[in-house]
A and B are shown apart, each in its own frame.
Chain A
Amino acid sequence: MTTANQQALAKYKNDFLKEVEANVEEGHWVRMCMQCGVCAGSCPLGPHWEHSPQKIFMMIRAGKREEVLTSDSMWMCTSCYNCIVRCPRKLPITHIMHGLANYAHRLGLAPKGQPTREIAKLFWNNLIKTGRVNELKFSLAMYFKDGFSQGVKNALAMQSIGLGLMKAKRLNPFEILGGHRCKDAAGIQKMIAKAREIEDRKKGFA
């Protein structure tokens, strides 16, 4: 168990709603949910998760901390924002789902190997290196996330698409040598480090 998780458990004891309100992005909205279920019926990946946003909100209020933070439901969010625009109580549901996913990830409780969690990490690490996304390196990192031989298989399976994109001048093989970047990548990294330091202090990750 991570130290941050132990500290959160000790601090909030059984009041998980309080913990979510304090530490999760837009978490203070959770108590406004009136359990109508419109979000559950609006999610494009509805058939694929165990807990709808509606259920997650009720589980938070019922103190089901471990079930919520280990759920893979938040990781099914495609960021389509259907739930936000349809919620009659105007809860920023998409952001709360993102916030819960991030919180579970930072506490080390999110499902291990969850594919969206894995590629989200790769994406972030890719972009903060130079300040801009290197699409080629990101694609390769995704293919090879489960080891070398699986990576070769994945890359071969996507070969015709990759070649098609190169032919259409929409994927540049020379990006592997560096590619697009921000001049002040160093400043961006310092800025992100500072933001992370502030956030960690506020949310108990430090």
Chain B
Amino acid sequence: MAKKQYAFYPGCSSQKKASADNFLRSIDVVCEKLDIQLNEIPDWNCCGASIGYAEGGELPRLVLSARNLALAETHYAGQDMVSVCPACWLASRETAERLHENGALFAEANEALKEAGLQFKGEVKARHFVEVLIEDIGWERMKEAVVRPLEGLKFAGYVGCQTNRPFGIAGESFENPKYLDKMIETVGAEAVKYDQKVTCCGGALAFSEPDKAQKQIRDIVESAYDHGADMIVTPCQLCQANVEIYQSEINKKQGTNFQMPVVYYSQLMTIAYGGTAEQAGLDGQLIRAEKLEKLASK
């Protein structure tokens, strides 16, 4: 079968040896197994993330994403632009929609883009990798590729914020999206019911307001434990980093004993599709996902 092709916007955290290096390794395996080809956009830049607004304002922040969209249109005309990072996706999609709706903003963005020798036509669609899996590949093929079902493992599907709001995945509710649970079940594992599926991890405020963010993180991890999860699984790099990294801080400050692995959906898929722990990037966990590693070695 011919591979489905996309203009790929990896984003800063997915670069080699950056904070979600292991995430991208598992995405590569998923793509290989499901005949997806991601064509990296040459010289892509940062999207400004969720705190770019303070110094970047409106237009400077929007042109960052407009440059990526313009590069995608130039180098991979006709292909959708795909991100694996919710913040990258949100910024790109927001920019594409805002510039589409507002002619003045569109003209101003292009005036700025000219300085970088580029032009945004407003044709490319910004999509999330999860949309590609669900809408273009489909549940059936995702399931067919499973050779090693993750039987007996219980996951708390943690969707978080930006994969879910303000855009979300078509047909899903903002308050109780079901696709991540369905992904967990598709690879043969159990999705536990718990009440913190779409709770905010604190986002970028984990840096500036650590106590407030750690309160959020504590709620999420505690609820996953209370409902019998072996691990938390998420589609978001910042959710993964915040919820995994700060458990040791919370343990230190609040006397808890958290040791809950936090993995990506693509790591589950990689193991279920027959990949090794290393291919799944499980060596990149601060809190080792031992049950998943054990299953991978069978």
Contact = CB atoms under 8 A, between A and B. Distances in A.
Contact of A80 (B45, B117, B161): B161
A135 B19 contact: yes
B140 interface: no
B205 A195 contact: no
Interface string A77-91: 011111011100000
Interface string B208-219: 110011001000
B108 interface: yes
Given A131-B46, A165-B19, A180-B18, A192 B60 contact: yes
Interface stretch (A4-12, A31-39, A62-70, A113-121): A113-121
B51 A168 contact: no
B174 A196 contact: no
Given A85-B166, A184-B43, A191-B67, A105 B54 contact: yes
B57 A25 contact: yes
Contact of A171 (B19, B109, B165): B19
A89 to B, nearest CB: 14
A193 B17 contact: no
Q: Chain B, interface size: which category?
A: 35 or more
Contacts of B17: 169-172, 175
A81 B284 contact: no
Interface in B42-80: 43-46, 48-60, 62-64, 67
Interface in B87-139: 108-109, 111-117
A188 interface: yes
Interface stretch (B141-149, B187-195, B196-204, B222-230): B196-204
Contacts of A86: 174
B159 to A, nearest CB: 12
A71 interface: no
Interface residues of A, number: 63
B34 interface: no
A99 B53 contact: yes
B54 A116 contact: yes
A119 B20 contact: no
Interface in B1-47: 12-13, 15-22, 43-46
Contacts of B286: 161, 164-165, 168
Nearest to A104: B54
A168 B283 contact: yes
- List the 4 closest A-B pairs by CB distance, nearest first: A120-B54, A79-B50, A81-B165, A187-B116
24 contacts: A25-B53, A76-B212, A78-B161, A78-B204, A80-B161, A84-B166, A102-B54, A102-B55, A120-B55, A123-B51, A123-B204, A127-B46, A142-B207, A161-B245, A165-B245, A170-B18, A172-B16, A187-B115, A188-B64, A191-B63, A192-B64, A194-B112, A195-B59, A199-B60
